[in-house]
Structure 1
Amino acid sequence: MTTVLVVDDHAMFRAGMIAVLSAMDGITVVGEAPDGATAIRLVGEVRPDVVLMDLRMPGLDGLTATARITEQHPGVAVVVLTMNDDGDSVFAALRAGARGYLLKEAGADDVERTLAAVMRGEAVFGPRVAEQVVGFFSGIGRSSPQAFPHLTVREGEVLDLMARGLDNASIARRLFVSEKTVRNRVSDVLAKLQARTRAEAVARARDAGIGGEAGR
C-alpha cells in the first residue's frame, strides 16, 4: 500500500485529486495540506510514502517545503504536481530533492504510473518536462567539462548560466542555492579561468561554445 499526502492551496483541486487517488488500487490518501508549512508538519505526523506537491502557494512555497521535507525525511518521495512548466521551476524542484515533476494536465494514468515509479526509486518527469531536462543537461555535458575540465560540475553549471546572461540572483534561483554561494562559485570560476572580470570569463565560455543560447 502506497500512502500519499496531497499539497495544494486550491481546495477543489485537492478534493478532485484525492478522489482520483482513492479510486486507484493500492493507494491510500493519508492527508491534505493547503500550504508548505502544513505539509512539513503533516509529513512528520503521518509519514507518507509520497507527497504530491504544488509549487506556488501562499505562505511557505512548494520549493522550500520540498527541500525541507527531503532533508528531514529522505525516505519520503516528493512529486511536484503544478501548472508551471518553465525551466527554472523544473530545475529548482529537482535540486530541492523532488523525485518527479508532473503538470496538472497529466491524466490519472500518468499519476498512477508516476507513483509506482517513485516507489521503485525512479525519477519521473512528464513528457514536456523531460524534454527540457534532457536538453539542458545534454547542452552542458557537451561543452563545459571538455572545454574547462579543471572546473567542478557546479562551477561548470555556474559558468554555463553566466554565459547565458543570468545574474547572480537568477543563478541562485535556478540552482536553488543562496546568492552568497553563487558569488563564491563565480569567484572560483574566475580564479580557475584566470579571468580578471566576469565579462572576460563569459567571453571565454562563449568562445568555447558554452552558453550560446542565452537564457535557454
Structure 2
Amino acid sequence: MFELSDAALTALWITLKLATVSTLALLVLATPLAWWLAHTRWRGKVVIEALVALPLVMPPTVIGFYLLVLLGPRGWVGGFLESIGVGHLAFSFTGIVIGSMLFSVPFVVQPLQNAFAGASGRVLEVAATLRASPLDRFFSVTLPLSRRGFLTAGVLSFAHSLGEFGMILMIGGNIPGRTQVASISIYNYVETMNYSAAHSLSLVLVLSSFTLLMMVFALNRRFKVVGVA
C-alpha cells in the first residue's frame, strides 16, 4: 500500500526545498560563467571547462569529503565563520545547498554555454548597430533566444538534486528534519527492512524525475516548432 509517513514527508520537503534553492542560486551564479565560456577566446578556458565538468566523473563522496573539510569547524571557511561567531556550515541546510550547487554545476553551465553560443552572431551585431548596450543586448536578445538552455539547465539541476546521496551524507550527515533528504531516508528504510516505506518514497522520486524530464523534452520540441533557439 502506498503511504508516506510524517518523517518521509519531512524528508521529501527538505529535498524539494534543497533542489529549488540550489537550482535558483546556481542559475544566477552560473549564467555569467557560461556567458564568458561561450564567448572568450582565451586558450586556457579548457581548464575552466574541465573544472566545471569535474563533478560528472568525481565520486560524490569525494566532493562531500572536501566540502566537509572546508566548511567544518577546522576548515578555512568553517573556521573563519566560527571565529566571527557565525558558526560552521557542516551538517547544516546551508552546507548541503552549497554541496548541491557544486555537484550540479555541469548540468547548468554546459546547457547555458551551448545556448549562449547559439544565440550569438548576426542578431547581436544588428542590435549593436542600433546602439544597444551590451547589457541591453543580453536581456533583450540573448536571454529570449536562450530560453531552451535555461529550461534544460533548470530542470536537469532540479532533477539531479532530487537524487543526491553520497555528497549530502558527507557534508550534511543524516539529521532528521534538517539534512535528512529523501534519498537518505530511503537508505534508512532499506537498512531497517522497511521495504514498503522505501518503495513509496522511491516511487515519488521516480515519478517526479520522469515528469520533469518529459516536460523538458516536450517543451524543447515545442520551441523547435516555433523556431526558438
Would you call these one fold, judging by a TM-score over 0.5?
A: no
Question: TM-score with structure 2 length normalisation?
Answer: 0.23
Question: TM-score with structure 1 length normalisation?
Answer: 0.24
- Computing the radius of gyration from Cα coordinates, the structure with the larger value is 2
Q: Which has the higher strand share?
A: 1
